[in-house]
Amino acid sequence: MKKLTLERKFYLLLIILVAVGSLIGWQYWPYVQDFLAKYRVDETVYRYASIIEMWTRKFGLFGWILIVFINVLQIVVAFLPGEPVELATGVLYGWFWGSILCVIGVVIGEAIVFLITRRYGIKLVNWMFRKDVTETKFFENTARIQSLTFILFLLPGVPKDVLTYVAGLSKIKLGDFLIISTLARTPSIISSALIGGSAISGDFTMTYWATIVTTLFGLIGIFFKDSILLWADTREEMVKKKLEDSIEKRKENKES
């Protein structure tokens, strides 16, 4: 059995603490609700929600465009975190429309990054991340990019920013990349927008569980990150070997 590194032990401990803490928190949730009611937290939230609703109505279509632009920006500028933007979008427009606006921004941002990278190549990627990306094996073939794109974008907490840029260096088609990455990103976007939308609407029970589930999935994604990447590489080698064996058998059959 492979020995756990100190880093993986740390994340495993966090997973256990969050899981146990969530169960304890749920056990005492009625007391939390009594506390919120006693200090009229729901009324305070309602006042802020009314102000936010007035703000969104005032800005109208411009507000929608601005939110989409901010989501595009956090994709193009890779070091900007996406979760706070998605939370804020959920607060402003609710989980449903907030998720849609985030997805639109993500699709536009990823298309821009993909096309720019395909135009300017490896030099742009190396300049953006200040390291030699040619050392990675992510873009050696389309099959690997497709599988890694879906896995890494599905799980919160694993690296995505480099892959968004590196995908443009591979042979994957823009349409295929956008479909795979969008499908994989959507659950995380919905969960973040749901946390923001439920909090501002006063549904703290939903906020609690959405936060717990998102946090657990993020920690689990970080914990199994290396194993997932190793599995993807091993799977690719197996596919290559099968293909080589198949070609060899065909040659033998022709010769016989």
Helix (H, G, I), strand (E, B), or coil: what is residue 77? Answer: coil
Q: How confident is the model at residue 148, as a pLDDT? A: 73
Q: For the chain, give every domain's residue range.
A: 6-223, 226-256
Q: Which of 173, 179, 181, 192 is nearest to 154 (CA)?
A: 181
Q: Is the pTM of this model over 0.85?
A: no
* Contact present, 165 and 78 (Cβ < 8 Å): yes
Is pLDDT above 70 for 2? no
Q: What is the mean pLDDT of residues 149-166?
A: 72
Over residues 55-66, the pLDDT tens digits come to: 777 788 888 898
Tokens standing for residue 217: 């999935």
**Is 223 or 232 the better-scoring residue by pLDDT?**
223
Q: With b meaning 16 or more CB within 10 Å and e meaning fewer, what string describes 205-218?
A: ebbbbbbbebbbbb
The answer to whether 252 and 47 have CB atoms below 8 angstroms apart is: no
Q: What is the mean pLDDT of residues 139-162?
A: 70
Q: Give 84-123 pLDDT, tens digit per residue.
A: 888 888 888 888 999 999 999 999 999 999 999 888 877 7
| pLDDT in the model for residue 138 | 54
pLDDT at 103: 94
> Residue 46: its pLDDT value, please?
63
